[in-house]
Amino acid sequence: MALRVHLRKFRKDWLRPDRLERQIKDYMDATTSLLWQRQAIFLSATLLTAFYFDPKISFLSYMGVLFAETLDLFLARRIRLWDGNPKQSLAYLKAILFNTVVSSTAICLFIIMVARQQHEGGHFTPLFFLFAAALFAAMNNHQVLPALAVRLIIYAGTFVYIALMDILRTYPPIDSSPWLEFFTILFVMYFIIDISIQFLKMYRAGVRQLEELRREHERTLAALTVKSQFLSTVSHELRTPLTSIKGSLDLVNKGTLGAIPPTLAPVLEIAGKNSVRLANLIDDLLDLQKFEAGEMVFNFEPLNVRRLLQEAIEANSGFARSLGIDVKLLPTNEQLTIHGDRSRLMQVLANLLSNAVKFSNEGGHVDLRARADGSDVVISIIDYGVGIPPNSEERVFGQFTQIDSSDQRRVGGTGLGMNISQQIVERHKGTLEYASTLSEGTTFFLTLQRHTPNPNEEG
């Protein structure tokens, strides 16, 4: 009764189409990966027995083993092309069982032939070959339990046949060597069965763990999708009213709608700055969502590095002047060209320049330099301000993290700019690194692949 319940549970759990497919593919992967190892063992046994016993029988038996291996190779090729159709699972399982019968029968016939030729000194050689085959099966054929059971049953029958061969031939007393060999074989069979059970348990535990990891991965992907959709929806819904608010505040602050009372001017100025910060945050959130969803589009083209840096300085000059910082491009005699997305690299440079300006001392300056380094172009953004504490890489390039949120930071940020910049640079197959000393300043190194332009290309 207990055996029937166990078999019913086995059919329910381990003959499910998804698990059966996994078991069949794992079984054939192990079979094909160990092909040459098995062939080396079979060939060595064949040569050894051919020298000490009848060579014709040895090589004929080896041909039977090769035939079984050929069947396995053809089946493995079919399973590799399998599209996972569950209707084929049982058909492939039956094919595996058939090949198992052919293979184990060929091996056992080879071992029996050797045992029948050995008339003295026991049957150490064939029994050792059989033990090795059974142990090999226990260690490597546990993925499909029916195939393992069939193989071990055939091996067990061969063990018993060889053990009883001398007993039935001579009917020796119970304290004789043939009976000792028989009981030893029973012990070996128990050992092999126990080993098979242990490997089977480990394999099943691994399958369950893999399934749990897969379910956890699916739950994580689902949560990430929901988060991305929520982030995208909220960001888009915020953008429209914020654009209207920001536009209205700009008109008021510029005096387009009339003179501003002195008591309201500071409040409106703060509101305008905060609307800009909020707009930047929404833009960063949308960029982050695009990266996570794999929807960020890049348009690569040849770019003149000096021209790109000059545009970046001009675009950020107003912000730098408002903080009393001078930004300049150091001269270079090299004509440097890269292959990149202009708008995205301008976004990176704007973020690096704004950080350099924010963390510079009032009245200071920020330098930009570009130089060739083999097949790369290295762009350096150098400030002489407060510096970055040691071991702060995770905070510098992390999401929603900032190095300084207290007394030294004069202008706020979203905590996303450097993370987005790093992702943009990685999509350009480049690197973004920095070197810094506290109270002396920081240099960010933007390294991109150098592009050799054609004569007709313009940067």
Domain spans in the chain, listed from the N-terminal domain onward: 2-171, 301-449
CATH superfamily of 301-449: Histidine kinase-like ATPase, C-terminal domain (3.30.565.10)
Q: Which tokens hold the place of 445? A: 């190194």
Query: What mean pLDDT is predicted for residues 105-115?
Result: 87
Spatial separation of the C-alpha atoms in residues 116 and 57, rounded to whole Å = 11
Residue 347 makes CB contacts below 8 A (sequence gap 6+) with 420, 421, 424
| Amino acid letter, residue 115 | A
Torsion of CA 14, 15, 21, 22, to 10 degrees: 0
Interval 23-42: pLDDT, tens: 888 888 888 888 888 888 88
Q: Which tokens hold the place of 111? A: 């071992």
- Compute CA distances 161 → 45, 103, 169, whole Å: 20, 18, 12
Query: What mean pLDDT is predicted for residues 256-284?
Result: 79
Contacts of 415-421 spanning 24+ positions with Cβ under 8 A:
416/281, 416/284, 416/285, 416/287, 416/288, 417/284, 417/351, 417/354, 417/355, 418/351, 418/355, 419/288, 420/284, 420/287, 420/288, 420/291, 420/347, 420/351, 421/347, 421/348, 421/351, 421/352
Across all residues in the chain, what is the average pLDDT? 82
Residue 275 makes CB contacts below 8 A (sequence gap 6+) with 242, 245, 246, 249
Indicate the pTM of the whole model: 0.52
Interval 42-63: pLDDT, tens: 888 888 888 888 888 888 888 8
